[in-house]
Amino acid sequence: MAFENILVEKSEGIATIFINRPKAMNALNAETLFELGDAIKEIAADDEVGAVIVTGSGDKSFVAGADITFMYPLDGMKARYFSGVGQSVFRQLEKLEKPVIAAINGFALGGGCELAMACDIRLASTTALFGQPEVGLGIPPGFGGTQRLSRIVGEGRALELILTANNIKADEAYRIGLVNHLYAPEELMAAARKMAKKIMSNAPTAVAISKSAIYRGLQVDIDTAMAIEADNFGLTYLSANQKEGMGAYMEKRKPTWVK
């Protein structure tokens, strides 16, 4: 499928999604969100893709936020719909069975920070900048920021970031656990691909089930979460990859996974 606001490149089993609106600092409007949703559907159905990287075109911005020129004239009902579109697409990304790595190469503000948080693992350039500046515009975060940020960095830090509308640099984002690793700008994409390949060297069924168990377990009490883990542990024994992985270990060889 051809896109106007994003680019999708596939290489060595990795699909890289570029938010591609450099003149708008890769800001998200409705069309971009719809295209992103379509790309996620395509990737979900593509058995040749084992991992996904999300990044921004150019070297200044991952996603600088939602498109204010698009948002300004909306009325309440249209704003609610726009929020729902963003939330739905980001949940698609979060629920994708394949691992998703954000390669944050610049500004990750507002909707950009929310997009990064919808990815499983966040790698950032040392020049990246993070924030949820929405209250300074008279609105709250609308693409999941009020929910995911507290789950990632804790309630106190999330409240501070959202209520002050302060931006933070990459080193502070790393310190509070918003990003997993920092890299020099020229090393970021190579690091993201290296991590994607490392994940892809493991059993795809086990990776998908582990991702699902983590996210489902975060929403329930610990006893229910343990039951989810036990159920998923049992499910892996229905996959040929369990026998292959353990068999390869005992035979001291590399496993050949079934996709």
Q: Active-site residue numbers?
A: 114, 134
Is the CB of residue 244 less than 8 Å from the CB of residue 258? yes
Is the CB of residue 86 less than 8 Å from the CB of residue 66? yes
Q: Give the rounded distance of the alpha carbon of 119 from its chain centre.
A: 1
DSSP-derived secondary structure letter, 221: -
Instruction: Collapse the DSSP code of 51 into the 3-class scheme (helix H, G, I; strand E, B; otherwise coil) and give the result.
Output: strand
Burial class for 237, CB neighbours closer than 10 Å (0-12, 13-18, 19+): exposed
Closest CA to 114 of 20, 202, 43, 19: 19
Is the CB of residue 91 less than 8 Å from the CB of residue 148? no
Angle (nearest 5°) at CA 129 between 145 and 181? 90
DSSP-derived secondary structure letter, 118: T
HSE-CB for 102 with a 13 A CA cutoff: 31
